[in-house]
């Protein structure tokens, strides 16, 4: 979002040879070829607007984005198409729900409420759309049951289809058939028959919580699109659009055919290059959080960055006489900005006196209807956030202490407490594992949720004293000692001639020997937020379906703590690796590889993995 993305449009004339190929294709498949009514203009425009990777960003941040304002742009475009007899198709390319708290605590319901009111056409399912697992209770506890329950509930709530043509159910060998989740949809817009296919990246199921996608696999995108698009053509589709939770990344948007500013290995380029000519007209891409307005193999590919801060658009100009696409016109991703600062071009929050930005010749104003439809789900979220956990903190508990992580220690303590017989708990807060400090004052569910918004589960692993020691030493060696959270074990770190060395002691002071076997507890990977407590070096055990949810364990711990002395909290948070003296601290710091704590401190709390 650093460079100017608005204003420039580029025209793409489908080469004559491709148009001929399409005519051949249309004839070959015996499509009905309706002539235009005599009083209609020959050309009609379908404006296809793409959103993707919203990640729950329903509301603007620093004047940028927000669904009510996005709806304002779409409303203006719809007015323009209404005046020339065309139509607007609104396509989302997935990773819609996981991200901001308003969406997460409603499991995406607040977003679907808005999308319904915005009259979306269809959306592709993305990898993070599986993140919520089963349906939550009204108190935001995950209920036992179908681990795809939350996603299915969103699809059932939507008045537009969820598309997932290459998501295969292992049990049937066919695309999943859940209510309102299907491979494709055929629809009519301004008298044109349009087919929309949805697909997800080949890596989708490796980029979400493993337990939630058991029994599913992802089929290759190219072959799936070719098969499904051919079916749609045979069923009468005159324009085929792919909603793709797979994408690419380019830096410039002024020349659609010029890919020199693009990442050439982009997944969606490879897919587009492999498709038969003239089978697909448009791909609305996503997943990489990049921007696209490019032409590959005659296909117009658009992608809008992420978090609703911009939208993408391509116009398909359709010739009613020949019943074929006359040309497509690609637009650079357009920022969703209420009021650009005239000098810096940065987006600033709109004020009453501000002159609103214009789109399609009209002032863009946030649509109050979208604000209204989101209100009930939002109210439920605010009530949840304000729920107190029965504890008040005298001082903030921070992620990073001088030597250890007070908040990491607290999480480790809660995890160890939850597993009877556990000797130790370890978590690594180095790379955005815990997303916020806990402020002082009454402890609420909302504050805990801000720290750990994910549904990762508790994992138990058996390790030797030597293995645990090596892992802790490796973490300290990487300069991440402030990110380490430990419970049940005291760490004494020192410097020897061959580098950093740690001794582990049980908290009662007895040493832990190399050959001792320990039951340790940590957070199940993969995490959605970086390299939090990777158990891989400790034996690579994955989370189990029925293991407790980490956040729920910590929530329960706080509720119990309310009846315990404050000393328990101090004990839990102040445990850090011990260093013999200041000289040792310096030596350890010198031996650390340079990936310092500042990397932790500067990590953006709002960036999810694609
Ligand atoms: Zn994604």
pLDDT band at 338 (very low <50, low <70, confident <90, very high): confident
The separation between CA 484 and the C-alpha centre of its own chain, rounded to angstroms, equals 26
Predicted pLDDT of residue 503 = 79
Question: Going by C-beta distance under 8 Å and a sequence separation of 6 or more, which residues neighbour residue 336?
Answer: 60, 64, 65, 66, 69, 70, 73, 308, 309, 310, 311
Distance between Cα 610 and ligand 1 center (Å): 4
The token pair at 199 is 């697909």
Looking at the predicted structure, is the pLDDT value of residue 572 above 60? yes
Tell me the average pLDDT across 503-531: 74
Closest by alpha carbon to 366, among 380, 345, 350? 350
Higher pLDDT, 399 or 225: 225
pLDDT digits (tens, 9 = 90+) for 124-160: 999 999 999 999 999 888 888 899 999 999 999 999 9
Neighbours of 424 (CB within 10 A): 25
Query: Cα 119 vs. chain centroid, distance in angstroms?
Result: 22
List, as one string, the DSSP characters of 89-108: EEEE-S--SSSSHHHHTTTT
Question: Distance, CA 185 to ligand 1 centroid (Å)?
Answer: 22
Question: Tokens at residue 337, please?
Answer: 């900005």
Distance, CA 608 to ligand 1 centroid (Å)?
9
Spacing, Cα 126 to ligand 1 middle (Å) = 5
Give the pLDDT confidence score for residue 568 in this predicted structure.
66
Tell me how far the alpha carbon of residue 532 lies from the centroid of ligand 1, in angstroms. Answer: 19
d(CA 447, ligand 1 centre) in Å: 26
How many whole angstroms from 158 Cα to the centroid of ligand 1? 20
Tell me the DSSP string of 313-379: EEEEEEETTTTEEEEEEEEEEEE-BS-B-TTT--B----TTSPPPEETTEE----HHHHHHHHHHHH
For residues 518 and 508, give the distance between their C-alpha atoms in angstroms, rounded to a whole number: 15
Q: Give the Å distance between the CA of 128 and the centre of ligand 1.
A: 6
Give me ligand 1 centre to Cα 206, in Å. Answer: 10
Rounded distance between C-alpha atoms, residue 90 and residue 276, angstroms? 25
Instruction: Give bridge partners of residue 192 from the DSSP assignment.
Output: 189
Cα–Cα dist 91/103, whole Å: 19
User: Per-residue pLDDT for 206 more than 70?
Assistant: yes
For range 396-401, the mean pLDDT: 84
Alpha-carbon torsion (532, 168, 610, 357), positive or negative: negative
| pLDDT exceeds cutoff 60 at 541 | no
Residue 441, strand partner residues? 393
177 half-sphere exposure, CB direction, 13 A CA radius: 4
pLDDT band at 579 (very low <50, low <70, confident <90, very high): low
Q: Is the pLDDT of residue 610 over 60?
A: no
Q: List all residues 6 or more positions away from 558 whose beta carbon is below 8 Å from its beta carbon.
A: 389, 390, 391, 414, 443, 448
- The per-type count for the chain, helices as H runs and strands as E runs, is 15, 28
480 touches 565 (CB < 8 A) = no
Phi/psi of residue 363, nearest 5 degrees: -65, 140
Q: How many CB atoms sit inside 10 A of residue 24's CB? A: 12
pLDDT of 192 > 70? The answer is yes
- Cα(124) to centroid(ligand 1), Å: 11
More confident: 228 or 569: 228
Percent of the chain past pLDDT 70, that is, above it, reads 79
Among candidate residues 224, 194, 244, the one with its CA nearest the CA of residue 92: 244
The set of residues, in sequence order, having a beta carbon less than 8 Å from that of 432 and lying 6+ positions away, is 529, 530, 532, 600, 603, 604, 605, 607
Q: Enter the tokens of residue 174.
A: 């066919």
Longest dimension (CA), the chain: 93
Q: What pLDDT sits at residue 7?
A: 34
Are 574 and 409 contacting, i.e. CB atoms less than 8 angstroms apart?
Answer: yes
The per-residue pLDDT for 592 is 57
| Cα 93 to middle of ligand 1, angstroms | 9
Q: Are 323 and 26 in contact (CB under 8 A)?
A: yes
Encode burial over 223-249: b for 16+ CB neighbours within 10 A, e otherwise.
Answer: ebbbebbbbbbeeebbbbbbbbbbbbb
Q: Which of 86, 566, 564, 99 is nearest to 307 (CA)?
A: 99
Instruction: Please report the pLDDT score of residue 19 as a whole number.
Output: 38
Query: Does 10 have pLDDT greater than 70?
Result: no
Q: Which of 400, 527, 524 is nearest to 460 (CA)?
A: 524
590 pLDDT more than 80:
no
Q: Which residues contact 586 (CB under 8 A, 6 or more apart)?
A: none
Euclidean distance between CA atoms 376 and 109, whole angstroms: 10
**Residue 9 confidence (pLDDT) above 60:** no
Ligand 1 center to residue 94 CA distance, Å? 7
By C-alpha distance, which of 164, 295, 175, 294 is closest to 242?
164
Residue 333: per-residue pLDDT: 96
Q: Is the pLDDT of residue 597 over 50?
A: no
Which helix (H) or strand (E) is 392 found in, with range? strand 388-393
Q: How far is the CA of 3 from the centre of ligand 1 (A)?
A: 23
Q: What's the average model confidence in pLDDT over 76-94?
A: 98
Task: Report the share of the chain in percent with pLDDT over 90.
Answer: 54
Give the model's confidence band at 432: pLDDT under 50 very low, under 70 low, under 90 confident, else very high: low
| Edge-first strand listing for the sheet containing 181-182 | 9-12, 324-335, 310-319, 43-51, 87-92, 122-124, 162-163, 181-182
For residue 187, give both structure tokens: 């629809």
Ligand 1 centre from 427 Cα, in Å?
25
Q: How far is the CA of 254 from the centre of ligand 1 (A)?
A: 26
Structure confidence at residue 458 (pLDDT): 86
Give the pLDDT of residue 21: 38
Residue 8's pLDDT is what? Answer: 33
Mean pLDDT across 351-363 = 82
pLDDT tens digit sequence for 86-127? 999 999 999 999 989 999 999 999 999 999 999 999 999 999
Query: What is the CA(288)–ligand 1 centre distance, in A?
Result: 7
Q: What pLDDT was estimated at residue 11?
A: 35
> 38: pLDDT confidence band, cut at 50, 70 and 90?
low
Residue 218 CA, ligand 1 centroid: distance in Å: 14
Q: CA-CA distance, 504 to 10, in Å (whole number)? A: 64
CB proximity list for 534: less than 8 A, separation 6 or greater: 428, 525
Residue 432: count other Cβ atoms within 10 Å of its Cβ: 23
Range picked from 328-337, 494-503, 505-514, 523-532 for highest mean pLDDT: 328-337
Does 582 have pLDDT greater than 80? Answer: no
DSSP state of 429: -
* Residue 454: per-residue pLDDT: 83
Q: By mean pLDDT, which of 288-292, 389-393, 417-421, 482-486 is the weakest?
A: 482-486
Q: What mean pLDDT is reported for the chain? A: 83
C-beta neighbour count of 367 within 10 angstroms: 21
- pLDDT band of residue 17 (cuts 50, 70, 90) is very low
Which of 131-145, 314-328, 565-579 shows the highest mean pLDDT? 314-328
């Amino acid at each position: 979002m650093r460079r100017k993305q608005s204003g420039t449009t580029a025209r793409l004339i489908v080469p004559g040879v491709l148009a001929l190929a399409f005519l051949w294709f249309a004839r070959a498949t015996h499509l009905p070829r309706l002539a235009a009514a005599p009083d209609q203009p020959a050309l009609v425009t379908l404006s296809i607007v793409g959103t993707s990777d919203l990640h729950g960003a329903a509301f603007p941040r620093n004047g940028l984005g927000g669904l009510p304002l996005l709806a304002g742009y779409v409303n203006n475009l719809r007015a323009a198409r209404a005046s020339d007899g065309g139509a607007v198709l609104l396509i989302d390319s997935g990773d819609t729900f996981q991200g901001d708290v308003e969406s997460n605590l409603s499991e995406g319901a607040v977003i679907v409420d808005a999308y319904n009111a915005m009259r979306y056409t269809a959306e592709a399912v993305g990898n993070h759309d599986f993140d919520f697992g089963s349906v939550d209770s009204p108190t935001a506890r995950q209920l036992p049951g179908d681990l795809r329950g939350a996603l299915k509930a969103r699809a059932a709530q939507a008045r537009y289809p969820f598309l997932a043509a290459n998501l295969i159910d292992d049990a049937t060998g066919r695309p999943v058939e859940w209510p309102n989740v299907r491979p494709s949809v055929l629809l009519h817009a301004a008298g044109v028959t349009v087919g929309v296919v949805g697909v997800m990246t080949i890596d989708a199921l490796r980029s979400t919580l493993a337990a939630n996608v058991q029994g599913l696999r992802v089929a290759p995108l190219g072959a799936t699109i070719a098969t499904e698009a051919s079916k749609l053509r045979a069923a009468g589709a005159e324009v085929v659009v792919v909603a793709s939770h797979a994408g690419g990344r380019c830096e410039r948007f002024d020349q659609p055919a010029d890919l020199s500013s693009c990442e050439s290995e982009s997944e969606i380029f490879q897919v587009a290059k492999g498709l038969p000519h003239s089978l697909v007209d448009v791909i609305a891409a996503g997943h990489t959080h990049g921007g696209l307005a490019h032409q590959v193999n005659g296909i117009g590919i658009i992608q809008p960055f992420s978090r609703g801060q911009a939208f993408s658009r391509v116009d398909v100009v359709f010739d009613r006489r020949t019943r074929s696409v006359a040309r497509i016109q690609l637009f650079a991703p357009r920022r969703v900005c209420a009021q650009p600062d005239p000098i810096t071009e940065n987006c600033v929050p709109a004020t009453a006196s501000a002159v609103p930005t214009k789109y399609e010749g009209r002032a863009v104003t946030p649509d109050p209807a979208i604000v209204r439809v989101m209100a009930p789900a939002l109210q439920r979220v605010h009530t949840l956030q304000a729920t107190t956990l029965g504890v008040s903190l005298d001082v903030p508990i921070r992620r990073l202490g001088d030597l250890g992580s007070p908040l990491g220690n607290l999480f480790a303590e809660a995890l160890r407490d939850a597993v009877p017989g556990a000797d130790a708990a370890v978590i690594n807060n180095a790379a955005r594992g815990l997303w916020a400090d806990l402020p002082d004052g009454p402890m609420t569910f909302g504050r805990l949720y801000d720290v750990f918004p994910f549904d990762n589960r508790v994992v138990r692993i058996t390790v030797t004293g030597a293995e645990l020691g090596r892992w802790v030493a490796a973490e300290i060696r990487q300069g991440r000692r402030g990110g380490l959270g430990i419970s049940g074990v005291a760490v004494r770190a020192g410097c020897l001639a061959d580098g950093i060395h740690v001794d582990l002691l049980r908290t009662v002071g007895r040493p832990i020997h190399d050959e001792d076997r320990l039951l340790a507890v940590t957070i199940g990977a993969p995490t959605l937020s970086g390299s939090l407590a990777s158990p891989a070096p400790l034996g690579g055990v994955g989370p189990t379906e029925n293991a407790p949810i980490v956040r729920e364990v910590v929530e329960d711990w706080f509720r119990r703590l309310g009846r315990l002395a404050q000393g328990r909290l101090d004990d839990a948070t102040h445990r850090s690796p011990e260093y013999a003296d200041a000289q040792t601290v310096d030596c350890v710091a010198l031996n650390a590889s340079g990936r310092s704590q500042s990397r932790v401190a500067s990590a953006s709390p709002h960036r999810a993995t694609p």
